[in-house]
Amino acid sequence: MIATNYRLTMEMNRQAALARDIAREQTEISTTKRIQAPSDDPVAAARVSEIGRTQANEASFKSNLDLANALSAGAETTLETVANAVTRAHELMVAGANGTLSATNRAAMALELRSIAAEITTLKDARDARGNRLFMSGWALQIPVAAGLAVTAVGTREEVFETVPTAGGPRDIAAIVADAATALESGGSAPIGASIAELVAGVEHVASVRGQQGARGNRIEQLVERYETAKFQLTEERSALEDTDVRAAIARIQAKQLTLDAAQAVFARVNQSTLFDILR
């Protein structure tokens, strides 16, 4: 009798274990997560936790990268406009150097030059989407984009607009254009010649600044690509560690359910009288 009770208890425990396994597999399917608690797979759970922390940090850095990318793109667009404006100013001055032009023609050109100078001043004070100055004065915004790494998305106002190398020292682009208008109105060949030289320096300076900004933009784009690659790799690794293989889980459930059904049928048939004895 003791042996019989022992066998019954063992069989019931086995069936209960099968039922728990089936329920567990069903939970894994419904939650899509293989690891329901750290004890299920301590090593994998620890790695998943570590990946989660890394992903959270990377998400913050990605937000900063998006900001850097937007600022860089805004600066490139602005500098393209500045380059076109300075080039146009140079063209006007070269045309204005023609001694056959009337005072009226020179005045019209000077008016356009002053309009260009005002446009450049406005561009120097451009704002980003947050309402902050795009070109900051005195210092460039350092944006952290990875652990121990920060990027400069945009040059300073001084670097971009106020340090054109001329014979008289560093000058502001807008001031150069405004002075060119005055020189053109004067009609003097010497002032006009000096202004043309300064505008040539302005064109070259803006081209150099645009090159530097392009390099910043390329660097940021490389970091974005590196982030996307790392994000994909982390996601794939995490999925492999914690996600449920639904097809395999369904196959296991079906196999275990068949085993459980068969065991229960045999158990009920073979042990009917024994169960009645135990219940009595």
What are the pLDDT digits (tens) for 126-135?
999 889 999 9
pTM score: 0.74
The contacts found for 227-236 with CB under 8 angstroms, 24 or more apart, are 227/58, 227/61, 227/62, 227/65, 230/58, 231/55, 231/58, 231/62, 234/51, 234/54, 234/55, 234/58, 235/55
Residue 71 binned pLDDT confidence (cut-offs 50, 70, 90):
very high
The pLDDT score that the predictor gives to residue 76 is 96
**241: closest CA among 47, 27, 111, 8?**
47
Domain boundaries, the chain: 2-32+245-279, 44-241
11-29 pLDDT tens trace: 677 767 666 766 666 676 6
What phi and psi values does residue 13 have, to the nearest 5 degrees? Answer: -65, -40
Look at the chain and count its residues.
Answer: 280
Token pair in block for residue 97: 């150097």
Residues 93 and 199 sit within 8 Å (Cβ to Cβ): yes
CA–CA distance from 39 to each of 222, 243, 267 (Å)?
Answer: 40, 16, 33
Q: Which residue has the higher pLDDT, 100 or 94?
A: 94
**125: closest CA among 117, 133, 113, 116?**
133
Fold assignment, 44-241: f41 fragment of flagellin, N-terminal domain (1.20.1330)
The pLDDT score that the predictor gives to residue 206 is 97
CA–CA distance from 164 to each of 59, 87, 97, 204, 274 (Å)?
Answer: 40, 14, 22, 9, 102
For the cut 80, the answer to whether the pLDDT of residue 50 exceeds it is yes
Residue 211 binned pLDDT confidence (cut-offs 50, 70, 90):
very high
